[in-house]
Amino acid sequence: MSTVPLRQRALRLPTTMPGRLSKPAALLAAIVLLLAALPILTMITMSFSASDTLEFPPSGYSLQWYRAAWHSFVAPDASDALSMGSALSTSLIVAVATMIVATLVSVPAAYALSRYRFRGKPAVEQLVALPLVYPLVMLGLSLLLVFNVLPVELGVFRLIIAHVILALPFTVKNCAASVASIGPEFEEAACVMGASPGRALIDVVLPLMRPGILAGMLFAFIISFNEFTVTFFLYGINTMTLPVWLYSRTVSSLDPTVFSFAVFIVAIDFALIWLLEKLIGDEGVAL
């Protein structure tokens, strides 16, 4: 009998098992994939519709709604308060700002939560995760009431603050997972060689945290770029984001143009997800 401990042998198991899926498992996987892809396939199909109404399946196919979408991107039409390009610019500004602020807050917070024990630590962890379970409608309403009593008009900073709150659970969790995977012996070795604790953190820990930081940054960008519910309570005519603009367009003019806009937004999201996978490789992310 082998003397290799069971735990060591278990660690050598491959991450994927050889063989083929059984027919029931393959059928179930196909159904799940179809249900997941169905909304996107429907959206793409309708974006090429030649009809002036939401007729499904379309009686013909055309690029007319993409041409209409391009005109709305450049300048607003009669049904829009501003152009899609202006809304996209606002969304990008808010998403980039959210990504930067959330990362700057999350890196030291994740390091403190992973490395130190202090009174109230569980409460802090619960507070960081609170936006995941807090009703978004109530969060938007609460922030609206708070911002309305402030003596200054925050403008686009309303959206940035709200989006940072929503992104923090993801950025902190990913950064904390990276810190937890880095043993304190790396910092100790750097300090033994003459580095200060701060220099050890910057030169040793932060580079090793790169996968978690990048994953958190992209999660923050995606969350901000697609956020609608809280934004709907806080936006103004000059701070309308792309999801709110798309909703406004749907209410004012329900035609297949909205599907052309949606294809554009989904394409951006897919590109960001692809970039996320390329940046972090097989190291995974924490959810």
Asked whether residue 167 is assigned to any structural domain, the reply reads yes
- Cα–Cα distance, 109 to 248 (Å, whole number): 38
Confidence category of residue 13, pLDDT binned at 50, 70, 90: very low
Band (205; pLDDT cuts 50, 70, 90): confident
What pTM value is reported for the model?
A: 0.76
**Contact indicator for 166, 131 with CB cutoff of 8 Å:** yes
- Amino acid in position 33: L
| pLDDT band, very low/low/confident/very high, at 21 (cuts 50, 70, 90) | low
pLDDT reading at 141 higher than 80: yes
Does the residue 246 lie in any domain? yes
Cα dihedral sign for 278, 279, 281, 284?
negative
Q: Is residue 29 part of a domain?
A: no
Residues spanned by the domain of 98 = 65-72+80-280
Tell me the average pLDDT across 66-75.
71
- Please indicate whether residue 185 or residue 160 has the higher confidence score (pLDDT): 160
pLDDT given at position 8 = 47
In whole angstroms, give the CA distance from residue 87 to residue 73: 9
188, two tokens? 């100790």
**277 vs 227, residue with greater confidence:** 227
pLDDT band at residue 75 using 50, 70 and 90 as cut-offs: low
* CB atoms closer than 10 angstroms to residue 93: 16
Are 69 and 84 a contacting pair, CB within 8 Å? yes
Report pLDDT for 9: 45
**Type and span of the H or E element at 49:** none
d(CA 31, CA 22): 14
Reference 239, options 154, 141, 164; nearest CA is: 154
Q: Based on the structure, what is the number of domains in the chain?
A: 1
- Across all residues in the chain, what is the average pLDDT? 78
% of the chain beyond a pLDDT of 70? 83
CATH number of the domain bearing residue 165: 1.10.3720.10
Among the residue ranges 44-48, 190-194, 251-255, the one predicted with the least confidence is 251-255
Q: Would you say residue 27 lies in a domain?
A: no
